[in-house]
Amino acid sequence: MKKTIENLLKNSGLPGPRANLELLYSFSKNATENEIDECLSFYKDDLHNSPEEFVVMCGIVGYCILNKDNIQKMLSTIRKYASHSSWRIRESIAIGIQEIAENNMSEILNGLKNWIDGNDLEKRAVVAALCEPKLLKEKSFIIKLFEILNKITMSFDKIDGKLSENQNSLRKTLGYGWSVAIVSFPNKGKVVFEKIAKCDNKHIKWIVKENLKKNRLAVMDKKWVEKILATFN
């Protein structure tokens, strides 16, 4: 086990611009409970762009995969990591959920209900985890995702002033998440998004405009994108 952790530390790719995600995936899919516990023992509040940060990421994703048969417990345990100051730690939450969600969508949605009503970074984790193309196959799930995105997006309607750092992180994730969801079910997605686009709140307008910049929407329906953009002029 010691050699395994040493390997993660040595080959993390951190500090640097990109963590070694190939190593993260290979470790996480084969990790033992003891190895995962050892990884998570490196957890602390101040983890930024370091080999130790990478080890914790591996532990989180590994924990999700190891506990895929007990999704409620798994989500309850990892929830605290969703609010960490490290964006990489937060991203590992999304990766972990995505790794086990494909055949467990109803359980995942049920387990994330409290997150949807949670703090801004918990909401951000929901959007980042679920707005993933490989998960968007069943129309019933995509419709529920539109409802989730709508609820989280409209929470900005109550905010007029400057955003906090956590609110801004959530807004940025919504700034691409909608486009991923819409292209998976355009007929429904366009209708829902058009309603959002009519909102006068400046933060919601920003979310709408950011999604309309995404090439995936232009490929899907360029005229539709141009029509909505014209309403902002």
User: What are the per-10-residue average pLDDT scores of the chain (233 residues)?
Assistant: 89 96 97 96 94 98 96 96 96 96 91 96 98 95 97 95 96 98 98 96 97 98 96 81
Within a domain: 119: no
Q: Are 16 and 51 in contact (CB under 8 A)?
A: no
Tell me which residue of 233, 156, 161, 148 sits closest to 192, measured CA to CA.
148
Model pTM score: 0.95
Q: Is residue 78 part of a domain?
A: yes
Question: Do 145 and 107 belong to one domain?
Answer: no
The reply to whether 116 falls in a domain is: no
Side-chain half-sphere of 72: how many Cα atoms within 13 Å?
1
Mark which of 76, 111, 146 sits at the end of a domain: 111
CB atoms within 10 A of CB 51: 20
Asked if residue 141 and residue 107 are part of one domain, the reply reads no
198 and 101 together in one domain: no
Position 1 scores a pLDDT of 64
Q: Give the position of tokens 């602390």.
A: 44
Q: In terms of domains, do 2 and 101 share one?
A: yes
Domain count, the chain: 2
Which residue range forms the structural domain that includes residue 153? 137-233
pLDDT score recorded for residue 3: 86
State the Cα–Cα distance between residues 171 and 154, nearest whole angstrom. 11
Residue 217: which H helix or E strand, with range? helix 215-230
Q: What is the pLDDT of residue 152?
A: 98
